[in-house]
Amino acid sequence: MKAGPVMHTIPSFGFVVTERDEPGKLDAEHLKELGVPPGPLFARVKKGEAITLPSGETVSFVVLKQSSWSAVYMFPLVFCMYH
């Protein structure tokens, strides 16, 4: 969360709430087709590390991130007292 003053005629603040980026989903079927055996190598692929296949070939994959979202809240700070 970030906060900061907003240009307004009265004291105002805006807040931005942003979700953290998350790793994308692992396409297990595609990895199996490429000859990557299930198990610890899948975890290394998801981390973006280069791996060595049983054939001896070293490969690396691009790890895509799942997009995050943001929400912005802005409002004037007006203190009201009700009796």
Q: Is the pLDDT of residue 6 over 70?
A: yes
Burial of 65 (0-12, 13-18, 19+ CB in 10 A): exposed
Give me the pLDDT at residue 80, please.
47
On average, the pLDDT of the chain sits at 78
In this prediction, residues 6-14 reach a mean pLDDT of 78
The token duo for 41 is 């190598």
Would you say how long the chain is, in residues?
Answer: 83
> Is residue 76 very low, low, confident or very high in pLDDT (cuts 50, 70, 90)?
low
In this prediction, residues 47-63 reach a mean pLDDT of 82
Give me the pLDDT at residue 70, please.
82
**More confident: 83 or 36:** 36
Give me the pLDDT at residue 31, please.
85
